[in-house]
Amino acid sequence: MAGSISAGDFEQLRKRQMEEQHRRQQEQVEKALSGVKRRIAVYSGKGGVGKSTVAINLAAALARRGSRVGLLDADIDCPNITKLLGIDATLGVVSTPEGPRIVPAERYGMKVVSMASLPGNDDDDPTIWRGPLVTSALMQFLGGVQWGALDYLFIDMPPGTSDVPLTLLQFTRLDGFIIVTSPQTVSELDARKSGRMVHKLQGKVLGVVENFSGEMFGTGAGERAARALSVPLLGKISLSRAVREWADRGEPATLRSPEAEREFIAVLESLEKQLR
């Protein structure tokens, strides 16, 4: 004869089931990323500060120097990585003993995964999803991709302090976050917020990059945000016509512009000190 269950017992049962599901998802992600040495998220609370440009050029500079590099576009709603890299190919799929796995596209020596590369996706079609669907897609990219052996995996984050950064911090081990800000005061404010979110969730902020730095928009926000977060300023990227023009052509500026290469290599050298 079946017995009764109290509200307290029901809550404990639900909690154990959620914890078990969480553990299984973490194990799946860690298994998929087991060949990745360094996992770095490029992040800011505000859109339009050039996170994708920074992520692409850091990744491309490392790939040019011989590192095995992956690039994950974690902006599920508005993915831009493929456009900035001139990628037209769709993602493939391969059978493995663990089940089907997504095969990344490859460009400039990098493995690239983005929602924009899914078959049937159109540049003009919006992705109108609530948080649970966004989280599910991100988990698929983290745990269902055949990344293989990588020295670095850069994760290009969407703006804001909600589903995507929260999921990353809860379900995978990251070496840290690069916070990107432009010189404007509002951008600096949102950069500080995003950095503090990382701190509150026990993540690590590796440093701050000031993008679009120079005469047009000014400078100094990067230093101020870095001081507020007690982290180093990794470097400044100038507001450069070369960066914009090469991005419009679908090529990383660091591979084409000596000035851009110097600036991104300087950021990488600062980053590597923090990783050590």
The string of DSSP codes covering 192-261 is HHHHHHHHHTT--EEEEEEEEEBTTTBS-HHHHHHHHHT--EEEEEE--HHHHHHHHTTS-GGGT-HHHH
Looking at the chain, the whole-number percentage of residues with pLDDT higher than 90 is 65
> Burial, 43: exposed, middle or buried (Cβ in 10 Å; 0-12, 13-18, 19+)?
buried
Given pLDDT bands bounded at 50, 70 and 90, which one contains residue 2?
A: low
What is the rounded distance in angstroms from the CA atom of residue 142 to the CA atom of residue 164?
Answer: 12
CATH superfamily of 31-275: P-loop containing nucleotide triphosphate hydrolases (3.40.50.300)
User: Using an 8 Å Cβ cutoff, are 33 and 147 in contact?
Assistant: yes
| Mean pLDDT estimate for the chain | 91
Tens-digit pLDDT profile for residues 224-270: 999 999 999 999 999 888 888 888 899 999 999 999 999 999 999 99
What is the rounded distance in angstroms from the CA atom of residue 181 to the CA atom of residue 184?
Answer: 8
User: Using an 8 Å Cβ cutoff, are 275 and 178 in contact?
Assistant: no
pTM over 0.75: yes
> Burial, 207: exposed, middle or buried (Cβ in 10 Å; 0-12, 13-18, 19+)?
buried
Given pLDDT bands bounded at 50, 70 and 90, which one contains residue 3?
A: low
Each domain of the chain, given as residue ranges in start order, spans 31-275
Kindly tell me if the per-residue pLDDT of 114 is higher than 90: yes
Tens-digit pLDDT profile for residues 43-95: 999 999 999 999 999 999 999 999 999 999 999 988 999 999 999 888 989 98
